[in-house]
A and B are shown apart, each in its own frame.
Chain A
Amino acid sequence: MKIDRRSFLGLGLGAAAGIAVSPVGVKLTDDSSIWTQNWPWTPVPEDGEISYENSVCSLCPGSCGISVRKIKNRPVKIEGLDEYPVNDGGICLHGIAGLQYLYDPARVKSPMRKNGDRFEPISWDEAISLVSGKLADVRDSGAPHTLGLISGGAGGSVTALFKRFLDAFGSPNVYAMPSLEDNLSLTAATLHGAGNTIGFDLENADLVLSFGAGLIEGWGSPMACFKANSARRDRHAKLYQIEPRLSNTAANADRWIPIKPGTEADLALGLCAVLLKKNLFTPGEFFGGFNRFAAVVQKEYAPEKVEAVTGVKAADIEKLAVAFAKAKMPVAVPGKGRGDHGQNLKEFAAVQTLNALAGRLNKEGGAFVMNPDSYLAFPEASMDDAAEAGAGQEKSVGSVNELVDTLNASAKPVLNALFVYNANPCYTLRDTKRVKEAFKKVPFVVSFSSFMDETAMASDVILPASTFLERLEDVPTGGGLAKTVVGLTRPMVNPIFDTKNPGDALILLAQAMGGTIAESCAWDTYDECLEEVAGDIWDALSEDGYAVVSEGAPMGTPGTDFSFLASNPASVQAGGNGDLLLVPIDNIRLAGTAPASTPFAVKTVSDRVLSGTDIVVEINPETAKGLKDCGYAVLITSQGKARVKVNFNEGIMPGVIGMVKGLGHTFDNPYVAGKGVNVNDLIGPVIEPGSGMDAAFGIKATLSKA
């Protein structure tokens, strides 16, 4: 039979017609669109029973109460815990984004050992025996004091356990990263005697005179400050912000008093001078040369002189002093930005002295000189000879910054082994090159970081810590708060990766070391340890999730020792050279220290701060000669240079360049790292004589067209 064109035509047409009058077309059209509504590569979260669990956030010393929403025991959202004594429901963006830390691309998923310049995963057993072995060598070499510890500011039993380990090991070389807590206790020690700290009763003060304290930039216990600040208006209280830049705090304040960077101490002393001159001060238990002090400040810090230094009008200084003295419940607050890095004792002391002169010590709404009475009750550590010997020893140097310098300076290793816990010195300390060098000088560095951050990368072994959502821990509130609240961080999930609570890692180490060290850490688990050492507050902790250790103004008025200020210590000057001054900016949306920010946090950052991978620096158009807004420029300091973008900001003092902290991370997290530059690469430390604080509030710099 002959099959011709027409047959095929028929075949085709027939087929088409047949399909057309069948459901195929309609159904496929519909289903293909339903397919797009349920694309297999678009995740579908599993539904289930909703539950809420309370815990405490330990990302920063703020220690806010959090409520974790779970679906089928899977955490899906972190929210502020209502009626929690610190934050009463408020919560910062880092806490809310906390769940992102669990799955952070830079998480250290198991113990690691450095092999050449690469890390290789090892088991916990290997890791523990490796570390304990090395430590044994150090100890047997008869130099137990050459084991060091660098830990982040926060208190709590884990840090205490580390100290205890070093005690038992026989080393006094415990160093804390610069923190508001330390700065305040040092100030208290200088003025009111050792063993104290200072809290500021912002909730009740009716005039807060803030010397650059970023009360809504993350200073102290951030959410507590936020709450106190926003309640301000309802209380008809005032906030005066003294700062070279219109920070969020300044913008939110009732008055912004621009001041030349680094001259806050002079202004504070200037105000003291006015109080003394006008006899507006409240006599108290002043000693250590109060009269000498009075004479010095009135001579050296007369309003005119101060005006010349600070740029604040003499008349305004007088008015300000009077306003402060006349206010019912004024309080002066020190600590530029977050009050941790780039601070100096002179400034802290001067500001606190202002409180003392105004008779605001231990008064409601004033400055509380509190004994941070440790709720922790560790049993007596058992010490062998080596330990005793070590205990007798002096710390090699005073502060972590000095330690870094000494490490670099001396030929033979000052430290043979170093623990780093809850800190990222290779990123956070000024002149990071210097810090990385120093780390190379230490033969054996053990990091307890949860993330492969700059410091973890510079270490030899990593014993990865579970995040605050995966572990039990006690977290006392940090600096500046007028009350002490201890919160209990509870595990919200089992560790996602092969990580441990640093406390447990330490106990394992101690046991591996054996002897008195093991005896000093004779617990099976850290949880046990905590229950024991938390002693009388454990019940409160385990039942309510927190314990208020101290609240309200302490009894009596502490004495004030004027000897330090009476000697009129020199003010710290900015180093480097250049016609402009580079100062770091604390931005609440970026974490300045460890841990680094989350993807969510970075997402909220303005394109006037971070643009692509370029950091944007602020400068007053008046000083930006030859530069274009949003244009490129080269920033040069004695420490290095950086290609930056420029943001014309009328809110920053002419002559000053503002660069945000918290960018320029170099670890492996494309959402957070590799963006902008780390301001600490461009600023070098300036050690304040006596206090050992890195007092570099900024550095001279030049900014020229790229």
Chain B
Amino acid sequence: MSEIENKTENGSMDGAGECAAGEPKDDKGLGLGVIFFLGAFLICFLSGWLLFPKLLYSKHEQPFNFDHKLHTEEAGDCESCHFFREDGTFSGIPDLASCMECHTDEPMGDTEDEAIFAEEYVAKEKEVPWFVYSRQPDCVYFSHAAHMMGENAKGKMDCKTCHGPIGESTTSRPYEENRLTGYSRDIWGKNIWGIKKNSWDRMKMDDCADCHVEMDGHKGYCFQCHK
């Protein structure tokens, strides 16, 4: 925040400085106008680029830190926790029950996060209110099965392609939510213009479409991904 304040102040101070310099010459105040113009322009321009994004998103810390790396090492692969149900639907974030398959209200390790988990949730039989970075809005229908086990070879994608190397993360970064839309920032993309470097930097409809066009030469029909 402070950084921006500095910037904006500089912005206006430049303006002030110049106007002090320019005053005697320009009695019409036209120069003054130009200076005000530049000043205002700079302030709004900078706040538009730097302040606005900060204001637009609210930050939430996860209930406690989750070490994906540790768990994948212990459990083997993603699918041991994020598994497919018998009916083909995807389980997504594990519920307390599936955590309990390994954990008890006695911590297994000695991290304080696990302690929190054991005391706050396992002991109290409360589901952990995780913030889901990749949560899509209600209008989206996404079939993990179609992408990972579709009968056609191109359907066999790995988790990384869309979710990135989250399996290697040892800490959970804060979840950022768009105050207006309630979307996770990961959907629009970290970058305010939504410019992405990796396939997992963004999860908008266009990103799905790009891949679909590439794979089967067609974006697909509305109902394929909407409900």
Contacts A10-B36, A17-B41; A38 near B48 (Cβ below 8 A):
no
Contacts of A27 in B (CB 8 A): 52, 56, 192
Q: Which of B58-90 contact A (CB under 8 A)?
A: 85, 87, 89
Cα–Cα distance between A374 and B179 once the two chains are bound (Å): 64
Chain A residues with CB below 8 A from B29, complex form: 2-4, 6-7
A3 in contact with B89 (CB, 8 Å): no
Chain B residue numbers with a CB within 8 Å of A8 are: 36
Interface residues on B, range: 35 or more
Interface residue? A570 (CB, 8 A): no
Residues of chain B lying within 8 A (CB to CB) of residue A38:
137-138, 181-183
Closest A residue to B91 using CB positions: A49
Q: Which B residues lie within 8 Å of A34 (CB)? A: 137, 178, 180-181, 183
Interface residues of A in 1-37 (CB under 8 A from B): 1-4, 6-19, 21-24, 27-28, 31-32, 34-35, 37
Residues in A with CB closer than 8 Å to B30 are 6
A contacts with B: majority SS: helix
CA distance A9 to B33 in the complex (A): 7
Q: Are B43 and A18 in contact (CB under 8 A)?
A: yes
Q: Mark B145-189, 1 if CB is under 8 A from A, else 0.
A: 000000000000000000000000000000000101111000000
Q: Is the CB of B19 within 8 A of A1?
A: yes
Q: How far is the CA of A44 from the CA of B138 in the complex (A)?
A: 7
Beta-carbon contact of B32 and A18 below 8 Å: no
Judge if B35 is at the interface, Cβ distance under 8 Å: yes
- B-contacting residues, A66-90, CB 8 Å: none
Total CB contacts across the A-B interface at under 8 A: 112
Bound-state Cα–Cα, A19 to B44, Å: 5
What's the least CB distance linking B111 to chain A, in Å? 29
Interface positions, chain A 553-594, Cβ under 8 Å from B, are none
Question: What residues of chain B lie closer than 8 Å to A40, measured between beta carbons?
Answer: 182
A23 adjacent to B192 (CB under 8 Å): yes
Q: Say whether B102 faces chain A, with CB atoms less than 8 Å apart.
A: no
**A14/B52 contact (C-beta < 8 A), A9-B33, A34-B180, A49-B89 known:** no
A7 CB, min distance to chain B CBs, angstroms: 5
CB–CB A23/B44 < 8 A:
no
Which of these, B44, B56, B138, contacts A14 with CB under 8 Å?
B44
Q: State whether the Cβ of B34 lies closer than 8 Å to any Cβ in chain A.
A: yes
Whether A6 touches B180, Cβ cut-off 8 Å, given contacts A12-B40, A27-B56, A49-B85, is no
In the bound complex, do residue A10 and residue B33 qualify as a contact, i.e. CB atoms below 8 Å apart?
yes
- CB–CB A15/B181 < 8 A: no
Check if B37 is an interface residue, CB within 8 A of chain A: yes
The complex places the Cα of A11 from the Cα of B45 at a distance, in Å, of 13
- A348 to chain B minimum Cβ distance, whole angstroms, is 50
Q: Which of B23, B47, B49, B180 has a CB less than 8 Å from the CB of A35? A: B180
- Complex interface: chain B residues within 8 A of A16 (CB): 44
Determine if B42 is an interface residue (Cβ-Cβ < 8 Å).
yes
Residue A50, interface by CB 8 Å: yes
Residue among A8, A10, A11 with most chain B CB within 10 A: A10
Nearest CB in chain B to that of A50: its residue: B87
B223 touches A (CB below 8 Å): no
Least CB distance from A41 to B in Å reads 13
* B115 interface contact, C-beta 8 A: no
In the complex, chain A residues 470-513 whose Cβ is within 8 Å of any chain B Cβ: none
Q: Verify if B193 is at the interface (C-beta below 8 Å from A).
A: yes
- Contacting pair A10 B40 (CB below 8 A): yes
Q: List the interface of chain B (C-beta within 8 A of A).
A: 19-20, 23, 28-30, 32-49, 52-53, 56, 85, 87, 89, 91, 137-139, 178, 180-183, 192-193
What 10 A-B pairs are tightest by C-beta distance, nearest first?
A: A22-B48, A18-B44, A14-B40, A10-B33, A10-B37, A6-B33, A10-B36, A18-B45, A14-B37, A14-B41
Q: What are 6 contact pairs spanning A and B, CB under 8 A?
A: A1-B23, A18-B40, A24-B48, A31-B178, A34-B137, A34-B181
Given contacts A4-B32, A22-B44, 20 further A-B contacts (CB under 8 A): A2-B29, A6-B32, A7-B33, A10-B36, A14-B36, A14-B38, A14-B41, A14-B42, A15-B41, A21-B45, A22-B47, A23-B48, A23-B192, A24-B48, A27-B192, A34-B183, A35-B181, A40-B182, A49-B85, A49-B91
Q: Which residues of A contact B (CB under 8 A)?
A: 1-4, 6-19, 21-24, 27-28, 31-32, 34-35, 37-38, 40, 44-45, 49-50
